[in-house]
Structure 1
Amino acid sequence: MPFSGLTTFGTAFLSKFQCSQMPHPRSYDFTGVTSWLAAKCDLILLLFDPHKLDISDEFKRVIGSLRGHDDKIRVVLNKADQVDTHSLNDKPVNEALIGPIGKELFEKEQDDLLSDLKDIPKKACDRQINEFVKRARAAKIHAYIMSHLKKEMPAIMGKANAQQRLIDNLEDEFAKVQREHHLPIGDFPNVEHFREVLSGYSIDKFEKLKPKMVQAVDDMLGYDIPELLKNFKNPYE
C-alpha cells in the first residue's frame, strides 16, 4: 500500500484519513446542499485567489444558488494581505473583480469584514426577522402564481395539454403575475427549478386563492413586523 507509512501517525489520524481515485464525482447534490446552508447561515464568504480569478463551473453554480441571499454575501480575496496594493491594482484583477483599490480602501474593507464577523451574534435576531419576512413574501408570490396557473386551466377537456403549455411558457406566466399584482420581479422563484417541481403536480387540483389569507400576510408585513421590531434595539446603531 502506498500509504502504509502513515501508520506511524496512529489510529486517530488514520480514522479520519481518506483518499479517492480521480476523477471522483460527488455522490450528492453539492449545489443543493450549499443553497440549503446559505438559507440558514448569517454570513456567506466567497473566497477568491487574487492571483487566479478564474473560477470553476461548480463554483459558478454555487454562486448562482446563492440567489436571494445577496445581503449575506461578502467577497474576500484570500491571502490578499500577502499581495502588495500595486498588484491588486493590476488590470486583470481590476477588470475581473474588484476595481481600483488602494491601501486605505483595502484596510477599510478589511475592517468592515472583521466588523461583520464580530457583529453576527448581535444581529442574529434582526437577520432571523429578515429571513422570516423574505419567506412570507415568497409564500405570497407562490400563492399568486398557483392561483394564476389554476385560472388558466380549462374546466373539462385538454387539461394535460394546457398544463404543459403553461409549464413551457412559465417565464411569461411569471411576468403576467408580476404585472397584475405589481410584485418585485427579483422576489420570484427560479423559473427552471419551479418548472421542474411543477411538472410533478396537477395544476387543476391546487386550492383556490383565499384573499383573506393574503391580506393577513400583508397586515403582518405592514404592521405586525414593524411593531415587533420596536421591541428590539437597533443592531446597526
Structure 2
Amino acid sequence: MAAERFPQSPPNPPIRVHEEEEDVLTSILRDRSHIEETLRLASEEPAGDYAAALQRLRKIYHNSIKPMEQAYKYNELRQHEISDGEITSKPMVLFLGPWSVGKSSMINYLLGLQDTPYQLYTGAEPTTSEFTVIMHGYPFNDVCQWFIDRADLIFVVFDPTKLDVGLELEMLFRQLKGRESQIRIILNKADNLATQDLMRVYGALFWSLAPLINVTEPPRVYVSSFWPYEYAPDTSRDLFKREEISLLEDLNQVIENRLENKIAFIRQHGIRVRIHGLLVDRYVQTFKDKMSFFSDPDLVFKEIVDDPDKFYIFKSILAKTNVSKFDLPNRDAYRDFFGINPIGTFKQLSAQCSYMGGCLLEKIEKAITNELPGLLSSIASGKNPTLSSCEATGCGEKPKNRYRRH
C-alpha cells in the first residue's frame, strides 16, 4: 500500500452477525421477483428494429471504414481489430475487485444461479476460475485491459470490512482512465456493519479513491448486500433493497443504451482510422517531395520519421476538419510502424479511388459525418422523448430490455 499517497484505512469494524446467526440466515433465500420485474426479463415484445440497426452498423463499417483500415494497416498500429462478433455481441458487464469481496455471489444472485449446476464457486480462498495457468510473465494487466475496453458497465466491488486501496487497485484504476462514465462502485456485504460504521467506511472509501478517479462527477456508489440470502437482522433492509433496485435500473439502462454506445464506438474508431490514413498519406507525400535522383532513401526517411514536426506532418493533420489533438497517435509509434511496413508499400489517398467503389477518404468521411450520426438519430427518434428527463427522478416508463429472455 502506498502510504504516502493514500490515507491509512480505518481499522476493520466489528462484524455484527455471529456464526450461529449466519448459519440461520444463509438457509433463508431472498425473494428475487424484483430482479425479473426491474430487468423485464420476461417481456415478449419484438426487437426487430434493434437487429436491423445492428446490420446497418455492420454494413457501414465494412463498406466505409474497414477498406481504409486494411489499406493502411491500421490494426498494426493500434492492435485492435473489430470483428463482426464485436459489433453484434451482447452487452458485457465486468466485475472487478479484490478477492473475496462477493463478486461471484453477486453474479449467482443476479442471474439466479444459486444451487444450480451453473453457479460460480464461492469461498474464502481466491480461486474463482475453472482452471489456473502458472507461467512466467502471464499478462494479467493486458487481459484486464482487453475486457475493460469492451465492457459496457464496470462494477468495482469492495468489502467494507476489508477496505484497502493497494498497489494492484491503483494500477487497475489507471487502466480505467477514460472509462469513468462506465464505472460503478459497489460497497458489498453492507449488512455486516452497523449504520454508523457503514457511514464511516463510505466516507473512507471516497477518501481513498479520490486520487485515483480524477473526474468532476464521481462514480455512483451502491451500498447493499448482493447475495441470495436474507439481510442480517437490525440492519437498513429498506435502504439496501432500494439500492439494489436502483442498481438494476442502472444496469437495464446501460443495456438499453448498448446500441447507441456501439455506434459511438464505431464512429470513434472510424475517426482514428481516418487520422491514421491522413498521417500515412502525409508521410508518403513528404517522402516523395524530399527524394531526388541523388538522395539516399533510407537517410531521407530516417530524417522524416525522427523529426516529423520539422515537416509539419502532425500539425498539417490538425488543420483538417474533425481532427482533435486527443485522437492523434503517438508520433514515436510511426517509427516502429514504418519499420515493419516500408513506406514505399503505401499509396497516397488520392490514388485510393475506383470507378465502382469510390474514394476511401470520401467514404469514411461520409460515414463519420452523415451515416453513423444518421443511424443514431433514427434510433433516438423512436424513443420516448421524455425518457432522459425522467431518468433522474424515476418517473415515466421503464426502459425495455432488448436482451430479454424469450
Q: Normalising TM by the smaller chain, what interval?
A: 0.5 to 0.7
Work out the CA distance in 1 between the residues paired with 2:273 and 2:131: 44
Counterpart in the other structure of 2:185: 76
Work out the CA distance in 1 between the residues paired with 2:133 and 2:342: 46
Q: CA deviation at 1:66?
A: 5.6
Is 1:54 the counterpart of 2:188? The answer is no
Q: Which has the larger displacement, 29-38 or 219-228?
A: 29-38
Work out the CA distance in 2 between the residues paired with 1:188 and 1:80: 44
Q: Are the equivalent residues in 2 in contact too, given 1:42–1:124 (CA < 8 A)?
A: yes
Alignment of 1:1-237 (within 5 A): 16=130, 18=132, 20=134, 25-27=136-138, 29-46=139-156, 51-56=163-168, 60=171, 70=179, 73-76=182-185, 79=188, 81=190, 84-90=198-204, 92-93=207-208, 95-97=210-212, 114-153=248-287, 154-156=290-292, 157-169=295-307, 175-181=314-320, 183-191=323-331, 193-210=333-350, 212-232=359-379, 233-234=382-383, 237=388
* Superposition TM-score, scaled by structure 1 size: 0.65
Structure-2 change in CA distance of 1:193 and 1:75 (3 Å): farther
Q: Which has the larger displacement, 111-120 or 132-141?
A: 111-120
Q: Are the equivalent residues in 2 in contact too, given 1:53–1:96 (CA < 8 A)?
A: no
- How big is each residue's C-alpha offset from its partner over 1:17-44, in whole Å with a ceiling of 9 and x where there is no partner? 6485xxx5334x4444444434433233
Q: CA deviation at 1:146?
A: 0.5
1:223 maps to a residue whose letter is N
Q: Are the equivalent residues in 1 in contact too, given 2:222–2:244 (CA < 8 A)?
A: yes
Q: CA deviation at 1:224?
A: 1.9
Q: Secondary structure at the match of 1:76?
A: strand
Q: Are the equivalent residues in 2 in contact too, given 1:147–1:209 (CA < 8 A)?
A: yes
Q: Secondary structure at the match of 2:251?
A: helix
Counterpart in the other structure of 1:8: none
Q: Which has the larger displacement, 86-95 or 158-167?
A: 86-95
Work out the CA distance in 2 between the residues paired with 1:171 and 1:65: 30
Q: CA RMSD in A?
A: 4.3
Structure-2 change in CA distance of 1:114 and 1:160 (3 Å): farther
Looking at CA atoms only, which structure, 1 or 2, has the larger radius of gyration? 2
Work out the CA distance in 2 between the residues paired with 1:39 and 1:129: 15
1:179 maps to a residue whose letter is L
Q: 5+ residue gaps in structure 1?
A: 1-12
Structure-2 change in CA distance of 1:150 and 1:116 (3 Å): farther
1:93 maps to a residue whose letter is S
Structure-2 change in CA distance of 1:110 and 1:207 (3 Å): farther
Structure holding more helix per residue: 1
Q: Secondary structure at the match of 1:26?
A: coil
| Structure with more contact order per residue of length (Cα contacts < 8 Å, sep ≥ 6) | 2
1:215 maps to a residue whose letter is E
Work out the CA distance in 2 between the residues paired with 1:217 and 1:19: 42
* Superposition TM-score, scaled by structure 2 size: 0.42
Work out the CA distance in 1 between the residues paired with 2:297 and 2:325: 28
Counterpart in the other structure of 2:9: none
Q: Secondary structure at the match of 1:118?
A: helix
Q: 5+ residue gaps in structure 2?
A: 1-120, 122-129, 224-241, 353-358, 389-406
Q: Are the equivalent residues in 1 in contact too, given 2:283–2:313 (CA < 8 A)?
A: no
Q: Are the equivalent residues in 2 in contact too, given 1:88–1:94 (CA < 8 A)?
A: no
Q: Give the number of aligned pairs.
A: 214
Structure-2 change in CA distance of 1:226 and 1:168 (3 Å): same
Structure-2 change in CA distance of 1:87 and 1:189 (3 Å): same
Q: Which has the larger displacement, 214-223 or 134-143?
A: 214-223
Q: CA deviation at 1:137?
A: 0.7
Structure-2 change in CA distance of 1:176 and 1:79 (3 Å): same
Structure-2 change in CA distance of 1:44 and 1:161 (3 Å): farther
Q: CA deviation at 1:181?
A: 1.8
